Structure 1
């Protein structure tokens, strides 16, 4: 059974349910990357970023055999797009995110990244109305307010805890917040740019496009690792070579998130992007926030405070509100002449 149909005016409504399921799967997988820096806190964020995407790229080499026919259809502009998506949406984003988490803690960085549904929905609703239809601002506003309110409550709880901890440095906290904002910029750009290619190629395989991005990431991550190795060798800090003080733990963790979060998560998100209007898909990134908060609290070994739970509830209600909205076609106005 065909579960989605792409038309010139946007995405057919019967594909939205499947798109939401794909977006939920992507969020659950992507949430794993928020706890990885907490599991190996002694590893520099730069090494975690290149390690994750080295694993992702190497895993995509044998996977490319399955999609060799689709990959052969890609031309130079397609590979250039995959390369820029890999650089900004993969390596740079995770470098900023991991650096932020190491300075602020998992939940705080997560709620800052949690502003993405609001930011992407606003940008996409302004940018892609002619293609996808417009979600009326007044109908979109309640969902955005609910999501924003939920994020604010969770952020309040985490910020209060940070300020009450005498071992935390305000400078580290501020820098971590700025790094998280940089990650927000990267991942506002990435899904919009990625959706442009997917919507322009509706018959292409989402899995093959995920693999193509992994193959494009591999040389970038290898170059990044070479630069780090040269830096450590130059400064006589060879203890990090080749895989740091806990090589088996680090290697296993990077392989796990490379496969589950980077490849499979991207595959799920690509499938969602082909079925959903960009503004609606942007709101569903909140699933990543919810999953990341769940994993962070599980890693801490304690349940969140009631106010934080209330914030999570608002996030869920906001998502459900957004899912029920349907974009309205934009009617081109006649030229006054």
Structure 2
């Protein structure tokens, strides 16, 4: 169990990096950052796939189709929504909306996967969810309070960013549940191999998206310099770093955690991503978070500490099951 928790922590630290890329590339369209990141992920996965070709050959056509679905929703669509939200509203507000994922996934998994994983008793799960929810509320209030000084058009821009962040939550509620389904059905498969398979499946989608975006920018007469934009070295470097660390390594660690922990528990551990993203965002801002944000972070940590103490209980099956 503790190995699974450490894998989830590593995944959160890697995934937190994706929240600062849109801030470092403010002149780049969110769609370009999304397809660029996953084009890098796919290209990085190709040599890894060659090294792991024996295990990949064991995947069926259905497995590859599942990897393609996971890549489309959990990778491209999720990051498109997230990057757009961050560019519209800044990093902290989308971060705290994404921070609801531990609660949303934990409740969804506890209702959906209790027969497979065992149910986390609601009376034990509730304090963890309440602590995490209060932590999110504290950080959210601190950030929303800072919006009061903005003009109405700025508030509308932040509202659109918040809606896109909600879309990202929907994508990444679906992804870990479906991903855990596959991993639990194939306990003999390597978490690393499944991450590589998703990278390979992502490559054609990202390449098609890149070419379509290039064509759209050209047809609409926009002056954005394709294919690598106005800061090609920064763009390529960031996409390569995020493709390797956040996409491949982060997914590998998450898969390893998903194989070892109940989905309702591992879902709560996504809070590590929220904490890492907040830390990176405030480091980029160059100042420490406010007292209310620090209280929220403390509550998030307390919620995680409570969550890891919970043990699932088997669900008795009826004759019809």
Q: TM-score range by the shorter chain?
A: over 0.9
Following superposition, the deviation at residue 166 of structure 1 comes to 4.1
CA contact (8 A) 1:162 1:168 kept: no
Matches of 2:9 and 2:188 in 1, distance apart? Answer: 23
Say yes or no: does 1:196 pair with 2:196. Answer: no
For 1:239 and 1:21, the matched residues in 2 are separated by 42
RMSD of Structure 2 on Structure 1 (CA) = 1.1
Tell me the CA shift for residue 234 of structure 1: 1.0
Q: CA deviation at 1:105?
A: 1.0
1:41-72, Cα deviation, whole Å (9 max, x unpaired): 11100000000000000000111122111000
Partner of 1:98: 83
> Is the partner of 1:64 in helix, strand or coil?
helix
1:114, CA displacement in angstroms? 0.2
The correspondence for 2:23, drawn from 38, 43, 46, is: 38
Unpaired runs of 5+ residues, structure 1, are: 1-15
Separation in structure 2 between the aligned mates of residue 121 and residue 168 of structure 1, nearest angstrom: 36
Query: Per-residue deviation at 1:236?
Result: 2.4
> Residue in 1 aligned with 2:100?
115
Q: 1:298 aligns with which of 271, 275, 283?
A: 283
Deviation track 1:194-239 (CA, whole Å, cap 9, x = no partner) reads 0000000001011110000000000000000111111111122353
Stretch moving more, 226-235 or 318-327: 226-235
- Indicate the residue corresponding to 1:269 in structure 2: 254
SS at structure 2 position matched to 1:240: coil
Q: Give me the TM-score of the superposition, normalised by structure 2.
A: 0.98
1:125 aligned onto 2:124: no
Q: Which residue of 1 aligns with 2:122?
A: 137
**1:10 corresponds to which residue?**
none
Does residue 224 of the first structure (1) align with residue 220 of the second (2)?
no
Residue ranges of structure 2 left out of the alignment (5+ in a row)? none
Query: Is 1:133–1:328's contact at 8 Å kept on the other side of the alignment?
Result: yes
Q: Secondary structure at the match of 1:325?
A: coil
User: What's the counterpart of residue 326 of structure 1?
Assistant: 311
Q: Name the residue aligned to 2:296.
A: 311
Question: 1:113-262 alignment to 2 at 5 Å?
Answer: 113-166=98-151, 169-237=154-222, 239-262=224-247
SS in 1 for 2:37: helix
Aligned to 2:263: 278
> 1:32 & 1:241 partners in 2: Cα distance?
24
- Cα deviation code 1:80-119 (max 9, x no counterpart): 0000000000000000000000111111110000000000
Q: Equivalents in 2 of 1:309, 1:259: separation in Å? A: 31
Relative to the length of structure 1, the TM-score reads 0.93
* Count of residue pairs brought into register by the alignment: 320
1:257-297: per-residue Cα shift (whole Å, max 9, x none)? Answer: 00000000000000000000000000000000000000000
Q: Distance in 2 between matches of 1:273 and 1:241?
A: 39
Match of 1:7 in 2: none
Corresponding position of 1:288? 273
Structure 1 range deviating more: 77-86 or 58-67: 58-67
Distance between the aligned counterparts of 1:309 and 1:168, measured in 2? 29
Q: Which runs of 4+ in 1 moved over 4 A?
A: none
Give 2:62's aligned residue: 77
Separation in structure 2 between the aligned mates of residue 294 and residue 34 of structure 1, nearest angstrom: 10
8 Å Cα contact 1:232-1:240 kept in structure 2: no
